[in-house]
Amino acid sequence: MIIMDPPHLDGYEWGCKIGGGSFSSVYKGVLKSGEKTPVAIKCISRRNGRKVGNDAAVKEIALMKNLNHINIVKLYDFQFDSKNIYIIMEFCTEGDLAMFLKKKYKFAESFVQILMQQLASALRYLRTKNICHMDLKPQNILLTRTPELVLKVGDFGLSRILCDENIEQSRFAGSFRYMAPEKILNQKYDSRIDLWSVGIIMYECLVGRTPFGSTTLKAIVDTMVQQKPIEVPASISLSSICENLLFSLLKYNPGERIGFDEFFKHEFLQLNYLPCPENYERVKTLVNEGTSLEKIKKFPGALIKCEEAICYLEGFSCTETNPEQKRVVLEKITEYKRWQAQLTCLIEQSTQHSNKPSIITAENQYQSLYNLCKATPNIKNGLDIGRVAEMYVLDDKKTIALEKITAALDILIPLINTEPNGIRKDMLHKQIQQWLLLGETLKKAL
């Protein structure tokens, strides 16, 4: 590691050293003007004609200048002199994920889910730019509090905009502990190398170490050549959807590894409701659609739109840091929950007039829940059977309906106990409660 003098930059005060790498050191700094914003100053030495470090710095600056995402470290400025190149970036208060892991050893699945959501959100954004990070590891993932903990991907010095012309230039770039088999074994590779790295990071967060332990490069290569099974220790209890994502990422053969589209849609991540500008606009659209349906007395359809809007807003309420904006979001949630209750009453009144058991779920939150569960066969099967039961109710075939609703509940009730906390579990719990009520109604009617 290069030892360099602390930076002296126009407009910035420098502080203590907070990190470093093969060709750089990172210091905490402060912007002198305005609110004295804290910054991180990455200093890359230009001494001894180190072309590798200089080239990486130029590429990192070029990439970061065009990136703007809450889960990616922001580039504020850059300067250079005869000795160093200086990259001035967003300062992250909690250091990197490696340091955080060292303090905690490992994390609960619910916390890992939050980290993976944010990492996936950053990767989804990078995919729109056709960027492969190529060096994802805990040391390059930073954490900050706003006051909620926010993950930010950093260190784009090895990243590439992938194309056939440049992919071979970075054959051995990156950390071998997190490097995909196809890259480390000198085979053809593509952007799915980032997904392997995500899998290793996820495993380390859940277990407290990487799947290969503290082994040497040779030992890791031997493991990859032999494709030894990757296993989670028996002492670590994971939900089925968490295990599914983990082992879908950690496939030695990239052709068998989960793809980006499947990754972003995976039920463990629940990215559909992740707070972002697009989803805030989605809330407005849902409310407008729901209002239009209510006007023409299509109350179940309006309820679907209302409940989905609430799901989106609840995600924003957990991450919003501006007090005024948070107040607005919470007021909207309260308003839409009142609307939800009104629509539910209107649906119940309409079913009472028809002399049939209340089937609120036939056209409301069922479809939203079903979409979240498409990749989980057991839950999907239970939902399918429950939906068939509702159809039999509408046909006034109460005996068959009761058999079907009982079969659906026999499948779903045990599964909810292994479901991690989140929107899907809340929606599934609500669906089960409604079908339990429907079952009781059918028993009384027979």
DSSP for 224-269, written as a single string: HHHTPPP---TT----HHHHHHHHHH--SSTTTSPPHHHHHH-TTT
- Bridge partners for 20 per DSSP: 25
How do beta strands 38-45 and 131-132 pair? unpaired
Which of 248, 254, 237, 242 has its CA nearest to residue 116?
Answer: 242
Written out in words, the top-level CATH class of the domain with range 373-446 is mainly alpha
Domain regions of the chain by residue span? 12-90, 97-269, 271-355, 373-446
Question: Would the CATH topology of 12-90 be identical to that of 97-269?
Answer: no
Alpha-carbon span 16 to 435, nearest angstrom = 60
Rounded-to-10 torsion of CA 227, 231, 415, 195:
-60
Question: Reduced to 3 DSSP states, what percent helix, strand and coil does the chain have, rounded to the nearest 5?
Answer: 55, 10, 35
Written out in words, the top-level CATH class of the domain with range 12-90 is alpha beta
Say yes or no: domain 271-355 is CATH 3.40.190.10.
no
Name the residues annotated as catalytic. Answer: 135
State the residue for tokens 């009730």: 413
Binding residues for ATP: 42
Domain 97-269 carries which CATH code?
A: 1.10.510.10
Are 257 and 248 a contacting pair, CB within 8 Å? yes
Q: Which amino acid is at 74?
A: K
Helical packing angle, 299-319 and 365-372, nearest 10°: 50
Centroid of chain to Cα 335: 28
DSSP for 68-106, written as a single string: --TTBPPEEEEEE-SSEEEEEEE--TT-BHHHHHHHHSS
This prediction has a pTM of: 0.67
pLDDT in tens, the chain (446 residues): 455 555 577 778 888 888 776 667 888 888 877 777 889 888 877 765 555 556 666 766 777 788 888 899 988 888 878 777 888 889 988 889 998 988 888 888 888 988 998 999 999 988 888 888 888 999 989 998 876 788 999 887 666 655 444 444 444 456 788 999 998 888 888 889 999 999 999 999 999 999 987 678 888 888 899 898 999 998 998 888 899 999 999 999 999 999 999 999 887 887 777 777 777 888 899 999 999 999 998 887 888 788 788 878 877 776 666 678 888 888 998 899 899 888 878 877 776 665 555 544 444 567 777 777 766 777 888 888 888 888 778 777 888 889 889 988 988 988 887 787 777 788 888 888 889 988 888 888 88
